Chains A and B, each alone.
Chain A
Amino acid sequence: MKIVIDVLVIGGGNAALCAALMAREAGASVLMLEASPKAWRGGNSQHTRNLRCMHDAPQDVLVEAYPEEEYWQDLLKVTGGETSEHLARLVIRASSNCRDWMRRHGVRFQPPLSGALHVARTNAFFMGGGKALVNAYYRSAEALGVKVRYDTPVAEILLDQDRFVGVVTEAGETIKARAGVLAAGGFESNREWLREAWGRNDRGEWPADNFLIRGTRFNQGVLLKFMMNAGADTIGDPSQGHCVAIDARAPLYDGGICTRIDCVSLGVVVNRDGERFYDEGEDFWPKRYAIWGRLVAQQPDQIGYSIIDRKVVGRFMPPVFPGVTADSLPELALKLGLPADAFMHTLNRYNNACQPGSFNHTILDDCRTEGLAPAKTHWALPIDTPPFYGYALRPGITFTYLSLKVDDTAAVRFADKPSPNLFVAGEMMAGNVLGKGYTAGVGMSIGTAFGRIAGTQAAAAALGTANPRTV
């Protein structure tokens, strides 16, 4: 078979699009294979909303400065050191100068959304969110002559030792190319793999069976598994990922941003047994929501219940579904199916432990509990004013961190040696930078930086030009 394609990009989200655009701009012919139908294109990128950006001075929608060192320290803190400083700094620097390129391809930025002012300094928001970004990139890609095929999941990668040869689609078609970019997402939509990764807990439960998937249903991890079996180097713990607490009524897939429950820090959270298990007021919710997924996952039945009263209504982002409402706390327990005695015991102890203070949900206020374990350290108001509201919470997986190991060329590695013509970007390698934890907008920073690197490198490999070491 004659090879007519220079660069084959497998995937259809932000990283894949960045790779395709860069490869095409470098003069390569590019074919993208997107597993989903057109209506669902873009993978998890369609649910994203911003890019964490380094900047030394105010920059259009970004206020003040967010220097490299501070960004790096933030990343170091959330990952607890499970990161690569070299690759992380590469991503950070790339985030400072990629936005003009993004704009050239039609991406538009806006000031932070209401409800997200805390990241006005650090994050540039996509106007209309990630789906608008994905649409803009597809328009630009098609205008530049990138070919896109939807509904084309890939089953296998054809390799000649460490060389990429082509792919076999699920439909059985073989497509060859001179270089390849893998950008097909993590394995978060694959429930069996999640089950296996999270295993069985001491209670005999399989916690992942109760997880919801916040994003696309198409990230089945087929190629991640294929590459692992083919001997590619990997990095990361399969149970690590971006996991937040979301409304238990959210759809199984694609619930996205709107299924968040933002009132956690303004009330208490109890588990199935009516007991509290963590300091709800430890910090502002946007800084804590990413740990609550795991916290809820550790509870029996992997469920939690956020309880508030009328006093705080209108003080948090409105939830997508109405809460369960009751005029008394025992009635609320009944409606939520919680053991009323244990629930009332928890609530009474909490209410009695609340110290006088001046409530202010916009600062780390002085309303806290005394002599309660676990304590609530801010915004601790007695829950005593009907109507009372309850929201059931489930762990929601955004994406998994288990990754193919890379260096700064984004090349897939076999036995610690880089492939000459196979590269990887996006969730499939994000774990190199994000071993655990999360900070808003960094997924898109990694996807954009490594997508662009992978595209450039793949074009160079295909066209036989000198391998550019840095982008």
Chain B
Amino acid sequence: MAAIDNLMNLAAEAESALDANVAEVDRILHICNACRYCETFCAVFPAMTRRLDFNVADAHYLANLCHNCSACLYACQYAAPHEFGVNVPKTLAQVRRDTYVEYAFPRVLGMLYRRNGLTVAMAVSLGVAAFLIGTILLKGSVFVHGLEGEFYAIFPHNLLAVLFGSAFGFSILALSIGVARFWREVSEPGKPVPLPNALGEATRSVLTLKYLDGGHGDGCNNEDDAFTLWRRRFHHFTFYGFMLCFASTSLATLYHYLFAVEAPYPYLSLPVLLGTAGGIGLLIGPVGLFWLNLRRNPLQIDEAQRSMDRGFIALLFFVSLTGLALLVWRESAAMPLLLAVHLGFVMGFFLTLPYGKFAHGIFRCAALLKYAIEKRRPNPVQAGSE
């Protein structure tokens, strides 16, 4: 009963935080809408000019359109110590955290993660790793010589496929349910627009991280009003590193099922090359992002989201590190142990994927697509034509 009460409290807490955060978005954007100096920094402000009031759905939409570049904070004549106390990046970051909870499926897990991203991610990963090590120990020692990289001698392929396939499948399903709800709620009816153009623009914005360039190409802010391109670069390392690893895993699955070629694959095979390149990207990127995160001006961020940010960064880093370690020492006696630890982190990543920072990518893509669509419609507010 205590656990249920606790969850109910969490739900009430999330609810009132959301109300307060949405009210703050509405307050601030009324000031921004009357000022508009920041209009060309990013997509948030042009989207704002299409509205006169900002409801919950608008707040979620604009929050996820915001990349937290923070150019608008340092440029703001109404930022503290001004009595208006405008801080768009922080306010939208707070709503973004609400988005991940509000649209999480099931919601209760989102609320748990909201509290303790880093701890939950690490606990799940290490817990799974410990469980796997335990199962190995039941059969004997974790240090086994002479396996020559035969992963499936430790855990049968089909077992892994079922476990990880279902975890990943569930996560994808949970994310899809969330983003579908998000899309439905923030979308407004309007004339159809040429979707391929909008899709093309949104895709470009995603792949180039257009809105981390500050609108002028000098980059975004991290510690102060100076611009840096490093956040964009480290995010590219992370994103493309992840995509290469994803490509590697997908290719390996094809090898396995289509060509009946089983792991371990040679060092110079395509899955290993892709995975290695991606793994290196996933070391450099998260380390860089973590370094920037440590130095980020607290004014720019939602402090409560820090654990979620760092949990995600840490997970990516450890998935990659343990994966590369497994690759290097796959023919040594430590292979079973390394495998168990790596699988633990991969499982931790899969299980927390719909409730953590990973969701930012999905919701941001949806928001960018929505923006690319709505900007192709006439602006319903005709204030700007004098």
The answer to whether A114 and B386 have CB atoms under 8 Å apart is no
A residues near B84, Cβ cutoff 8 Å: 251
Given contacts A118-B386, A128-B38, contact A258 B31 (CB under 8 A): yes
Q: Which of A146-154, A183-191, A317-325, A427-435 contacts B (4 or more CB under 8 A)?
A: A317-325
The answer to whether B383 and A131 have CB atoms under 8 Å apart is no
- For chain A, the bracket of interface size reads 35 or more
Given contacts A127-B216, A128-B71, contact A114 B384 (CB under 8 A): yes
B residues near A314, Cβ cutoff 8 Å: 52, 380-383
B residues near A131, Cβ cutoff 8 Å: 74-77
B5 contacts chain A at the CB level, 8 A cutoff? no
In the complex, which residues 251-273 of chain A have their Cβ closer than 8 Å to any Cβ of chain B? 251, 254, 256-260, 262
A residues near B76, Cβ cutoff 8 Å: 131
A residues near B36, Cβ cutoff 8 Å: 113-115, 317
B236 contacts chain A at the CB level, 8 A cutoff? no
In the complex, which residues 48-105 of chain A have their Cβ closer than 8 Å to any Cβ of chain B? 49
Q: Which of A39-47, A171-179, A462-470 contacts B (4 or more CB under 8 A)?
A: A39-47
**Distance between Cα atoms of A391 and B225 in the complex (Å):** 36
**Distance between Cα atoms of A159 and B334 in the complex (Å):** 82
**Distance between Cα atoms of A284 and B80 in the complex (Å):** 34
**Distance between Cα atoms of A262 and B382 in the complex (Å):** 13
B 69-101 to A, binary, CB cutoff 8 A, 1 in contact else 0: 001101111101111100000000000000000
A 104-130 to B, binary, CB cutoff 8 A, 1 in contact else 0: 000010110111111000000011111
The answer to whether A113 and B77 have CB atoms under 8 Å apart is no
B residues near A313, Cβ cutoff 8 Å: 52
The answer to whether B81 and A361 have CB atoms under 8 Å apart is no
- For chain B, the bracket of interface size reads 35 or more
B371 contacts chain A at the CB level, 8 A cutoff? no
Within 8 Å by CB of B383, from A46, A110, A318, lies A318
Kindly report which residue of chain B lies nearest to residue A108, judged by CB atoms.
Answer: B216
A439 contacts chain B at the CB level, 8 A cutoff? no
**Distance between Cα atoms of A182 and B31 in the complex (Å):** 34
**Distance between Cα atoms of A49 and B384 in the complex (Å):** 16
The answer to whether B35 and A258 have CB atoms under 8 Å apart is yes
The answer to whether B383 and A254 have CB atoms under 8 Å apart is no
Kindly report which residue of chain A lies nearest to residue B379, judged by CB atoms.
Answer: A114
**Distance between Cα atoms of A28 and B352 in the complex (Å):** 59
The answer to whether B225 and A139 have CB atoms under 8 Å apart is yes
A135 contacts chain B at the CB level, 8 A cutoff? yes
**Distance between Cα atoms of A325 and B337 in the complex (Å):** 71
B residues near A113, Cβ cutoff 8 Å: 36-37, 39, 384
Given contacts A256-B35, A257-B34, contact A114 B49 (CB under 8 A): yes
The answer to whether B382 and A317 have CB atoms under 8 Å apart is no
Kindly report which residue of chain A lies nearest to residue B37, judged by CB atoms.
Answer: A129
A286 contacts chain B at the CB level, 8 A cutoff? yes
A 27-47 to B, binary, CB cutoff 8 A, 1 in contact else 0: 000000000000110000011
Within 8 Å by CB of B74, from A47, A132, A315, A362, lies A132
The answer to whether A39 and B81 have CB atoms under 8 Å apart is yes
Given contacts A130-B77, A320-B30, contact A115 B37 (CB under 8 A): no
What is the distance, in angstroms, from B45's C-beta to the closest C-beta of chain A? 9
A285 contacts chain B at the CB level, 8 A cutoff? yes
10 examples of A-B residue contacts, CB within 8 angstroms = A40-B81, A111-B40, A113-B36, A128-B71, A257-B77, A260-B34, A317-B34, A317-B383, A318-B383, A322-B30
